[in-house]
Structures are given as C-alpha cells and as structure tokens.
Amino acid sequence: MSLRSLLRTRRHPRPATRYVDRHVIGTPEELGVLMELATERGLLVFASVPVPLPDDPTRFRRHLRLRTP
C-alpha cells in the first residue's frame, strides 16, 4: 500500500456502523417472529427483556437495536 493511499484512508475513514433503536409492541408470538427474522438477517444487535403493557397484559414491549443494512 502506497503512502498516498494510506493518507487517503486516514482522511476518509469508512463510515461507522449505524444503528436504529425501536420500541416494538406485540404478542409473544409476534415478537418471536420479529426477533427470529432480525437474527437471521444479522440485523439484531440488542434486545431488551419483554415488559408487559399495563393496560393489556397479553401484549409486551421490547426495545430493539438494529443494524442498518
């Protein structure tokens, strides 16, 4: 690698990985399908523990951090 290409690389680094934070609400089955798809595609970075909604105990909320494609 030449000195010129090294300097160009240092001046213009690759873009950092970008993430999207989402709060999703659904039944355990719906959230399971969503988590499975995100994991298969390599997008899932973080998933919080399911938290039941106060007004509807059959639905849950999760915080997801997804990698942008």
In angstroms, rounded to a whole number, what is the distance separating the alpha carbons of residues 2 and 17? 27
In angstroms, rounded to a whole number, what is the distance separating the alpha carbons of residues 8 and 18? 22
Considering the entire predicted model, what is its pTM?
0.69
* pLDDT (tens digit per residue) in 38-52: 999 999 999 999 999
pLDDT at 13 over 60: no
CA dihedral 23, 65, 20, 66 (to 10 degrees): -120
Q: Average pLDDT of 9-21?
A: 68
Residues 6+ apart with CB under 8 A from 52: 59, 60, 61
Written as six digits, the tokens of 62 are 């999760």
